Amino acid sequence: MPKKLLFILSFLLVLAFLPSPVDAATFTRNVFLQKANTVSFDFRWATDTQEQLVVKYGLTIAYGNQVTSDAEQLINCGNNASFPCTGGNNNHAKISGLAPGTKYYYQVTTVSGTALTAAGDPNHYFKTSPAVGSTTPFTWAIWGDSGVNSTSQNNVAKQVFAKKPDLVMVAGDIAYPYGTSFSGNNTLHFNRYSDATPGQNTMSFSPFYVTCGNHETSCPTVMADHSLPGGGKMTSQISTYSYDYGNVHFVALNSNGSYAYNATTPSASDPQVAWAYNDLKASNQPWKVVYWHHNGWSAGSHSTNTAIVDNLIRMASDAGADLVIWGHSHVYERWNRKAGFYPNVQAYTIGNGGKTGASGCTSTSPGPGCAAKSSSGDSAAGFLFFEVSGDTMTARYITQSGANPDTISLNSSGGDPTSTPGSSPTPTPTPTPTPRPGTPTPTPQTGELPISVCDRANGPFSVNINNPYFPLPVGMVNVLEGGGLKVQVSVLSQTKVIGGVTTRVVEEREWQNGQLIEVSNNWFVQAPNGTVCYYGEDVFDGSGNPIGGAWIAYDDPSHPNFRPGIIMPGNPAVGQRYTQEVAPGVAEDRAQHTALGGSFTTPAGTFNNVLLVNETPPSTKRYAPGVGMIYDDGTTLRSSTLLGGSPMPTPLSFPPGDANGDCAVTIADYVILLNHYGQTIAGGRTVGDFDNNGAVTIADYVILLNHYGQSGCV
């Protein structure tokens, strides 16, 4: 009997005895993050069947660890009167034993391994909070009055996603209404920020901390649908709570109930107000933020609520809060800090996260008067985005189109905020004098570095980049590896003229488990003081198709405000902060130097005087003098031509049907296919999915059969 015919018969015989693939659970509410902690993180979701799921996690998209969701927390909302959640089958998982301030990637699967979230998705990650009191930079966002499923809400959601905040607060009116309707709450809230709407799925990487507004017709349901600080796994919780993240203490209040404040005897205040006063007083954090729903001062859809002013704002001020933020009035308003109006706190109205409106406040009324406000059109909807870096907090109002019409910088030691009017995405400090080429800077500048050093008017610039911590000599090839990911950085002889400046082209290729997944061309130039400037990048998938993240300074007619940023200062020092990418809505990475001088070991060797850089969106990098980047979020330097190493060869091209990567199609590959037959599973070639469509089917068997017996990789 011919070998192939025998092979076919044996396959069909085995197939006949295989169990039919079991339909896996599907999400009825997509996975969302809760309760960021220094050493743990919580996950929530709802499914169509009452089934435990697995959360895989690790420092890279290879994962390597996993937990199974809680069996006792398979809550069927319809059968649990004491737990008023919405949906059929709610579940919870908790990952513990994590490291503070660390980024982890995750994937959710069934117990049998069927993927419910895509393997290797870079937007499925979580970052543990920095140690309490740490000055590690982080970002947060807040808005209110969003849940209407309007164009404005979806536009704001897209801008929030682009900013990738480390955590999110919603100051009430999460949905109009948020009641006991599972589908209604999904449509108006969860689906707007979860995987159901790609490009808006902030919930997949940012924990949401919500509080109730007047349109939360069932606040107990809101609390049961979330796992918020102060509550157990999935137990009903009170709607007043506090939590720390880095060096900020946050307090969430429920302004639907009583909030009377006794300034003479705070302990005699309404219970939640007395608790909040004591909680704020007890915190030693340099930053204290309080948020609730109902507005204090406002000239929007609601006028000033003197009861809020006389009680909650006064309490927050007396207790030492730095910021108070509310919604309810469907506008943006930044209030002046004026004597007689609790000037110790910076107050905001941000009730236009989906609802829209133009404020009628002026510089003198109501109350202390406003310094900035929303108007009709683009600015009628938006959110507040905060960047925390030690004793400085930068607050930006971001509109639904990504414009930034109002920015101020606050200092935890007090004093008036520094305002930056206009739509510039980043405050531009006064530039320092530029040293002559070849002249070292005796004392490194710290704090916020001016990106104006990279402006095309401040040349001459050079494509011969010799910055010690970011050298880019032509022909250099550095290779970093970790967790199945390989990154090859090659400095090409090519140049590209951008905005009249000639830049060096640096190619970066990324492979995951041997498969090319991304290629980018990055454009760098060195300023007269040694600063390496970043002028943009083109980004493609492994097949050469353009993908998100591409931007170019000056030369994009649709984005004439895009500008170059700093990728490495000319004289690096601890405490330096700077913007790396100035492409609002597309790429807005920032960096802070947190350590300099230690040692770090990689497969390429041990390096001294290492520079540690923390970036936002969350990323950790290390640089060594004379070689450049040696660590990037779990990948470490394996070889460098600067160290006498050889470049990584292009990954092998395996023959179709070769599952185990031995460059031959044999019975071993047939066994791998058979073990995964009928499954919807990530892994491509390595699990027998030879047509790479996410499922192992008869089509994959045909590919294996047609190449059975072949050998040889190229």
In sequence order, what are the beta bridge partners of 418? Answer: 409
C-alpha to C-alpha distances, 25 to 28, 49, 57, 427, nearest whole angstrom:
9, 6, 20, 48
> CA 517, CA 633: separation in Å to the nearest integer?
17
Quickly state the pLDDT bin for 163 (edges 50, 70, 90): very high
Single out the residue of 549, 564, 539, 588 nearest to residue 402, CA to CA: 588
Report the run of H or E that residue 276 belongs to, with start and end. Answer: helix 271-282
| Fold category of 662-709 in CATH | Type 1 dockerin domain (1.10.1330)
Lowest mean pLDDT across 33-42, 154-163, 392-401, 441-450: 441-450
Quickly state the pLDDT bin for 647 (edges 50, 70, 90): very low
For residues 632-652, give the mean pLDDT: 68
Quickly state the pLDDT bin for 183 (edges 50, 70, 90): confident
Six-digit token string for 591: 């960096």
Cα end-to-end span (Å), the chain = 33
**23 or 486, higher pLDDT:** 486
Task: Please give the pLDDT value at position 371.
Answer: 95
> CA 356, CA 352: separation in Å to the nearest integer?
5
Instruction: Give CATH for domain 22-127.
Output: 2.60.40.10
> CA 490, CA 632: separation in Å to the nearest integer?
16
Query: Is pLDDT above 60 for 421?
Result: no
Query: Is pLDDT above 70 for 218?
Result: yes
Lowest mean pLDDT across 54-68, 484-498, 652-666: 652-666
Query: Is pLDDT above 80 for 238?
Result: no
Six-digit token string for 604: 């390429």
Single out the residue of 651, 627, 650 nearest to residue 491, CA to CA: 627
Class of domain 449-640 as given by CATH: mainly beta
Mean of all residue pLDDT scores within the chain: 86
The percent of residues above 90 in pLDDT, for the chain, comes to 55
Task: Please give the pLDDT value at position 4.
Answer: 54
For residues 480-487, give the mean pLDDT: 90
Q: How many helices (H) and strands (E) does the chain have?
A: 9, 37
Task: Please give the pLDDT value at position 2.
Answer: 56
Query: Is pLDDT above 60 for 612?
Result: yes
> CA 14, CA 500: separation in Å to the nearest integer?
66
Task: Please give the pLDDT value at position 698.
Answer: 87
Query: Is pLDDT above 50 for 531?
Result: yes
Quickly state the pLDDT bin for 389 (edges 50, 70, 90): very high
SS (H, E, C) 177-228: CCCCCHHHHHHHCHHHCCCCCCCCCHHHCCCEEEECCCCCCCHHHHHHCCCC
Quickly state the pLDDT bin for 5 (edges 50, 70, 90): low
- Give the pLDDT confidence of 585-599 residue by residue, as tens digits: 888 899 999 888 888
Task: Please give the pLDDT value at position 683.
Answer: 59
**178 or 395, higher pLDDT:** 395
Quickly state the pLDDT bin for 124 (edges 50, 70, 90): very high
Task: Please give the pLDDT value at position 436.
Answer: 31
Single out the residue of 177, 170, 191, 251 nearest to residue 219, CA to CA: 177
Q: Which residue has tokens 């607060």? A: 169
Lowest mean pLDDT across 21-25, 161-165, 536-540, 706-710: 21-25
For residues 456-475, give the mean pLDDT: 91
Task: Please give the pLDDT value at position 83.
Answer: 64
Quickly state the pLDDT bin for 677 (edges 50, 70, 90): confident
Same fold, 136-419 and 449-640: no
Task: Please give the pLDDT value at position 182.
Answer: 85
Task: Please give the pLDDT value at position 229.
Answer: 86
Q: Domain residue spans in the chain?
A: 22-127, 136-419, 449-640, 662-709
For residues 472-481, give the mean pLDDT: 91
Instruction: Give CATH for domain 136-419.
Output: 3.60.21.10
Quickly state the pLDDT bin for 11 (edges 50, 70, 90): low
- Please answer whether residues 630 and 642 qualify as being in contact, where contact means their C-beta atoms are separated by less than 8 angstroms: no
C-alpha to C-alpha distances, 647 to 410, 542, 605, 621, 622, nearest whole angstrom:
47, 19, 16, 21, 20
Lowest mean pLDDT across 81-90, 107-116, 143-152, 335-344: 81-90
Whole-prediction pTM: 0.61
- Give the pLDDT confidence of 331-372 residue by residue, as tens digits: 999 999 998 999 999 999 999 999 999 999 999 999 999 999
Task: Please give the pLDDT value at position 494.
Answer: 85
